[in-house]
Amino acid sequence: MSAALQATKTTKSRKHHVLPGFGLSLGFTIFWLSAVVLIPLTTLFFKTCQLGWPNFVKIVTDPEAIAAYKLSFGASFTAALINLFFGFLVAWVLGRYDFPFRKFFDSIVDLPFALPTAVAGISLAALYSDKGWIGHFLAPHNIKISYTPTGVYIALIFIGLPYVVRTIQPVLEDLEGQVEEAAESLGASRMQTFLRVLLPTLLPAAIAGFSLAFARALGEYGSVIFISNNLPFKGEIVPQLIVNELSNYDYPAATGLAVVMLVTSFVLLLLVNTIQRYASRHQEAR
C-alpha cells in the first residue's frame, strides 16, 4: 500500500505542465514586467529627482497645474459614475433580454475599444458642434459642448462605457434568473430583490468596471484634445499640459506632472480595489 502511494506521489511530482515550470515562468514574468512597466516608471522617478524638491513643488502646485488636476480628476470621476449607471442598464438589457439586432448592438459597445482616439474626438466634436447633428438642436438654447470643458466629459463617457458593460454583463449572464424568481415567490418586491439579491453579487464587478473606466479616462488624451478648447484654466487636462511641457523640451517638468498623476492614480485605484476586495469577501461570507 505504501509502495503504491509512493508511486503515485512520484508520478505527480513528475507531471509535466503545458507551460514551463514555476521558476522559468516566474523569471520570464519578472523580466517582462521589468522591461515594460517597472523600468519606465523607475526612470520617470529618477528624471523627476533632477528637479529638486523646491522646483518639484513649484511645478506641481502651479495654478495652471492645479486647474488641470481638477478638470482631469473631476471629469474622470464624474464620467466613471455616469458610465456606472448607464453601463449597468446597457449590460442588463444585453444580458437579460433577447430582441432583434441584439448582437449588432452588443458589438457596438466594443467600438470605443477599436476606434482610434483621434477619430473619436473628431467625430464627437463634429457631432456636438453648433452645426452638428446634435449640436444644432442645442445651439438655440445657448448650450455648447464642442470646444468647451463639457466636451471633456462627453469624450470620457464615450471611451469609458465599454469597460463597465463588459465587466458587469458576464456576471449578469451567469446569474440564474431562478434566483430572482425565488425571491419574488417569497414575497420580495422588485427593489428588495435588486438590493438584497442582485446588488451584492454584482457589486464587485460594478466596482471593477468603475475603476477601469476611471483609470482609462484619467489617461485619455487623443479624443479630449479635439473636443475641448485646451485653454489653460478652462479646458486643459493634465496630459495636455504634459505634452505642452514636452513641446518646450522641459522634460523634468513633464515628468514631475506625470509622477503626480501616477502616484494619485495608484492611490485611488488601490482604494477602489480595497473596497472591491471587501465587497467580494462580504459576498462570500453571506
Residue 22 counted as domain residue = no
Residue 68 counted as domain residue = yes
Would you place residue 283 in the very low, low, confident or very high pLDDT band (cuts 50, 70, 90)? low
Q: How far apart are the first and last CA of the chain?
A: 43
Residue 47 counted as domain residue = no
Amino acid, single-letter form, for residue 96: R
Using the predicted structure, report yes or no on whether residue 260 has a pLDDT greater than 80: yes
Residue 106 counted as domain residue = yes
74 neighbors 66 (Cβ within 8 angstroms):
no
Count how many domains the chain has: 1
Residue 195 counted as domain residue = yes
d(CA 246, CA 255): 9
* pLDDT, tens only, 50-69: 788 888 889 889 999 999 99
Segment 215-239 shows an average pLDDT of 89
d(CA 230, CA 71): 11
DSSP designation for 133:
T
CATH for 145: 1.10.3720.10
* 194's grid cell: 435588486
Residue 24 counted as domain residue = no
Segment 253-282 shows an average pLDDT of 81
Element (DSSP H or E) covering residue 239 = helix 238-247
**How many C-beta neighbours within 10 Å does residue 165 have?**
25
Residue 40 counted as domain residue = no
201 neighbors 175 (Cβ within 8 angstroms):
yes
Residue 8 counted as domain residue = no
Domain span including residue 102: 54-285
* pLDDT, tens only, 9-41: 454 445 556 666 677 788 888 888 888 888 888
